[in-house]
Amino acid sequence: MVFSSVSFLFYFLPAILLFYFAVPSKFKNVVLLVFSLLFYYYGEQLYVLILLFSSVLDYTCSLLIERYRGTKKAKAFLIISITANLAMLGFFKYFDFFISSVNALSGISLPLLKVALPIGISFFTFQTMSYTIDVYRGEVRAQKNFLTLFTYVSLFPQLIAGPIVRYKTVERELNGRTHSFDMFGEGVSRFITGLAKKVLLSNQLGALVVSFRSATEKTILFYWIYAAAFTLQIYFDFSGYSDMAIGLGKIFGFTFLENFNYPFISKSITEFWRRWHISLGSWFKDYVYIPLGGSRTGFKKWLRTTLVIWALTGLWHGADWPFVAWGLFVAVFIILEKTILLKAFQKLPGIAARIYFIAIILFSMVIFNGNGITGSFDDIVSMLGFTGLKFINSDTVYYLSSNALLLVISVIASTPLFANIFARIKLKSCGIKILDIAQPVSCLVLLVLSVSYLIDGSFNPFLYFRF
Amino acid sequence: MKSKIKNIIISIGFVIFIFGYLIIGIIQPDSEISFSERRKLNKFPEISWESLISGDFFENFEKYAPDHAPFREEFRTIKALSHFYLFNQKDNNGIFIINGNALKILYPLREKSVTEAGEKLNEVYSAYLTGMKVYYTVIPDKNTYAAEKYNYPVIDFNRCVELLGNAVSDMQYIDLLDCLAADDFYKTDPHWSQVNLEKTVLRLSEIMDFKVPDIKTYTVNRLYPFYGAYYGQSALPLAPDELLYLTNDTIRNATAYDPVSDTSFPIYNTEKFGGIDSYEVFLNGGLPLIEITNNNADTEKELILFRDSSGSSLAPLLIDGYKKITLIDLRYISANLIGRFVDFKDQDVLFMYNIAVLNNNKMLK
């Protein structure tokens, strides 16, 4: 089940709201747990047992870590937890990738398992690992109530497409939280914003990407339009989902950390990755990068660590070599920026850094969405005009003119322009009153528009489900 | 108004919206058919242990829920209007409107599909038609005439004909491109209007050597309002068409027979008007096989017409030229089976398919 569906909006959500707010506080976690499992079961049926296994494993290991704190046994239980989580992820997500790679390298043909990937496994295994590691580090106390931990692991707002919510972020709220119209109203506003981002912008941009892929006469300009459309599509897809998750969290009394911070206003790839999928970046930073030495080691070690981190980031996004290539492409530019480019850009006009950033981010997204490594290479070569394509033709004119306003709205919506305008309006005496009227109205308009697009059955796949 | 009240309004408004929608959805009876989209709606899935464990129930419920959403047509209209006027998109679900005329983007040309369709025609020729006089033609879509003028993507019609010509053998091509214009098609439907087929019928009669009366001698009959296929797909409040059909004594005395179901019916079945597809007035719509017998015939000539739905409205205008016309729709019957029902001898044969069908040869069995 996805948030942007009629079944979620008009069946699942009313049902859980009814039960959740009808029961006393001590039963609210039970209601959340039951509905979260139903939410996962709706799409994955028996894989709900993986959630149970993961919860039992990390519940047991964390209690044992705490019991044997300061001894080698504590470390052993940490290793057991991490190994089991990684083994689970490796089996479901990477086993066939490994076999395919061995087959390709050796020329043999070992059979593939072809096991279906459990939705959201990359998100919830990272969450549970962070929990056990944080218990080992003494940053959080092990949860003694199994149902509470199981509720955290299976919490439906962030279960299948993030953000990666760490236990310490919601520890206090899991044990007791307050509910108010303010939290509920803000949650609803945030949820509707995310829904509109996904349905009104991302899905339409996705339709443009599909049109590009099926077009028989592509042009250089069409390639650039495609690159921009896909880049914006994946942003609104994922940040829209994160908004919906954060909004739903608020409705049920949780405060999740932000996952995006206007990444397209960055002036470098390094800055971009501090603003994009923040929960994943900080996870790798805290649990891989810093333990491997971070930036305080020598250059060679830092170089190695950076390449490892980005190869892993690529693999996290997909079990295939093009994703590794994409991760390494990003790593190369992060390394170049750290060593040369950022200093060089300080001596150049600001526009130079912007142009560099936009070009590299578009190329990186084209690689991300490419049809294999050769397909990605062909796309980039075509963008650069080395394949003899025309610059423009009538089909390109059509798709550009039909989607020009969508692209402009999307670009503006990806910047903090509206947030800044609202902040300025609030400074004026009548500003708050205007916004108090405008916000409920805009919520209603966006909700009605989003529902109308959903009912018409337009293009609606969530890109981040495949991770 | 303070922010607290704002959040109360948003909270209560949202709860009323989703609970109201749920309650109305439960109370209102489910429709079986969407007339505007011309399709059966998904039914509430069967609840059983097997369907719950296998996930079939949830998969089917995901299809059921949007199909039976309250105010569905109104929401579809809101979507279409916002698509055109808020986002300034030039088409909605591939449909675009020019001066009240709904057209559908047919693009890109699937060259492999056209070639395979030609090979399918060759298979039929080899199996049944060797030595017979065989013609083929491609019916242009109304988009063929209008799209380029308004800068919409369009299939290269000539390239399609070229591909088909390269694929087929021992058949003569009849070019109908210059016999039609965008206005010869209904405004809310992809089909041509029978009253505008004068040049088309004349071209066919000249090349295939049969005689038909002047189209002006027919009586024009009218059915209103005709909401075509694009009316529902566009979800916009377009003005309906008037469905026109032509009659004369030959047509009135002719009989149509379905050998598969062993039933007879009139050439124009006006009871079909106002149903899920009003174009089924012509020869009862999509049937695999139809035999039309001209009871006034002064010729022994027979015609076998391999056709799609456009052929249903054209065939009545050819009756005067033949004693019998057999219509075969390869979308509904496998080419391997038609020998059981049709006796191929020395008839004229015409393959007549719309460019949209050729571009999606999966339709042909």
Question: What is the rounded average pLDDT of the residues A13-24?
Answer: 95
Domain endpoint, select from A121, A149, A176: A176
Percent of chain A scored above 70 by pLDDT?
A: 97
Q: What is the pLDDT of residue A422?
A: 87
Query: How many percent of chain B have pLDDT more than 90?
Result: 67
Q: What pLDDT shows up at residue A459? A: 46
Q: How far is B182 from chain A (nearest CA, A)?
A: 20
Total count of domains within chain A: 2
A278-321: pLDDT as tens digits:
998 899 889 988 887 777 778 888 888 889 889 988 988 888 88
pLDDT tens for A359-413 read: 999 999 999 898 888 888 999 999 999 988 999 988 899 999 999 999 999 999 9
Mean pLDDT throughout B166-180? 95
Size of interface A-B (CB pairs under 8 A): 138
Binned at pLDDT 50, 70 and 90, residue A241 comes out as very high
Same domain as A256, residue A163: no
The whole-number average pLDDT for the span A4-16 is 94
Q: Which whole number is the average pLDDT over A25-32?
A: 93
Q: Which region holds residue A283: left if phi is over 0, alpha if psi is between -120 and 50, else beta?
A: alpha
Which one is predicted more confidently, B285 or A24? A24
pLDDT at residue A238 is higher than 70: yes
% chain A with pLDDT above 90: 60
Q: What is the mean pLDDT of residues A173-178?
A: 88
Distances (CA, A) of B293 to A250, B297, B302: 73, 9, 10
Lowest mean pLDDT among A175-179, B219-223, B238-242: A175-179
Tell me how many degrees the CA angle A137-A140-A141 measures, rounded to the nearest 5: 110
Q: Is the domain of A63 the same as that of A82?
A: yes
Residue A239 sits in which domain range? Answer: 183-466
- A453, A331: one domain: yes
Inspect the interface and report whether the beta carbons of B108 and A453 lie closer than 8 Å: no
Q: Residue B236's pLDDT is what?
A: 87
pLDDT classification of A457: cutoffs 50, 70, 90: confident
Domain for residue A25, yes or no?
yes
Of A10, A398, A439, the CB nearest to B21: A10
pLDDT reading at A431 higher than 90 = no
Domain assignment present for residue A63? The answer is yes
Rounded-to-integer distance, Cα A26 and Cα B262, Å: 70
The CA distance from A68 to A59, in Å, is: 14
Q: Which of A108, A141, A176 is the last residue of a domain?
A: A176
Q: Is residue A110 part of a domain?
A: yes
Which of A 408-467 lie inside 8 A of B, CB atoms? 409, 432-433, 436-437, 439-440, 443-444, 447-449, 451-458
* Helix B3-27, helix A181-196: angle, nearest 10: 60
Cα–Cα distance measured from residue B157 to residue B353, given in angstroms and rounded to the nearest whole number: 13
**Residue B79 structure tokens:** 């979507």
Nearest to A455 among B4, B7, B66 (CB): B66
Distance CA A447, CA A4 (A): 11
Binning chain A into helix, strand and coil, the percentages to the nearest 5 are 75, 0, 25
A462 within some domain: yes
ipTM over 0.90: no
Q: Which pTM does this prediction carry? A: 0.87
A144 and A32 co-located in one domain: yes
Residue ranges in A72-202 assigned as alpha helix (H)? 72-89, 95-106, 121-137, 146-154, 156-159, 167-175, 181-196
Q: Between residues 274 and 303 of chain A, which touch chain B (CB distance below 8 Å)?
A: none
Closest Cα in chain B, distance from residue A44 (Å) = 8
Query: Does residue A270 share a domain with residue A135?
Result: no
Residue-averaged pLDDT of chain B: 91
- Report the DSSP beta bridge partners of residue B307: B352
Residues of A in contact with B4 (CB under 8 A): 181-182
pLDDT value at residue B2: 56
B150-163: b (≥16 Cβ within 10 Å) or e: eebbbbebeebbeb
Same structural domain, A300 and A422: yes
| Whole-number Å distance between alpha carbons of B234 and B80 | 7
Residue in A214, A451, A454 to test binding to B, most B beta-carbons within 10 Å: A451
Question: For residues A466 and A436, what is the distance between their CA atoms, to the nearest angstrom?
Answer: 39
Long-range CB pairs of B19-23, under 8 A, 24+ apart, other chains included: B19/A14, B21/A9, B21/A10, B21/B69, B21/B70, B22/A10, B22/A11, B22/A14
Cβ neighbors of A319 (< 8 A, separation 6 or more) are A93, A94, A96, A97
Which tens digits make up the pLDDT trace of A252-286?
A: 999 999 999 999 999 899 999 999 989 988 998 89
Residue of B11, B50, B359 to mutate when probing chain A, most A C-beta within 10 A? B11
Residue A1 lies in a domain: no
- Regarding whether A378 and A326 lie in a shared domain, the answer is yes
Q: State pLDDT tens for residues A130-147.
A: 999 999 999 999 999 999
- Same-domain status, A62 and A195: no
Q: Is B350 helix (H, G, I), strand (E, B) or coil?
A: strand
Please write the tens of the pLDDT for every residue from B71-117: 988 999 999 999 999 999 999 888 999 888 999 988 888 999 999 99
Residue A31 counted as domain residue? yes
What's residue A460's pLDDT? 46
**Are both A154 and A294 inside the same structural domain?**
no
> Are A196 and A148 members of one domain?
no
Burial environment of residue B266 by CB neighbours within 10 A (0 to 12, 13 to 18, 19 or more): middle
Q: Is A19 on the interface with B (CB under 8 A)?
A: no
Residue type, A280: L
pLDDT in tens, A332-365: 999 999 888 888 888 888 888 899 999 999 999 9
Residues of chain B contacting A6 with CB distance shorter than 8 Å? 65-66, 69
Boundary residue ending a domain (A176, A202, A229):
A176
Residues A155 and A234 in one domain: no
Active site includes A277?
no
A426 against B166, higher pLDDT: B166
Measure CB to CB from residue B65 to each of A7, A409, A448 and give the nearest one.
A7
Whether residue B364 has pLDDT greater than 90: no
Q: Please list the helix, strand and coil fractions of chain B in percent, rounded to the nearest 5, in that order.
A: 45, 20, 35
Confidence at residue A336, expressed as pLDDT on a 0 to 100 scale: 92
CA angle A191, A164, A74 (to 5 degrees): 150
Query: Contact at 8 Å (CB) between A225 and A396?
Result: yes
- Say if A328 falls within a structural domain: yes
User: Is A289 inside a domain boundary?
Assistant: yes
Q: Are residues A214 and A99 in the same domain?
A: no
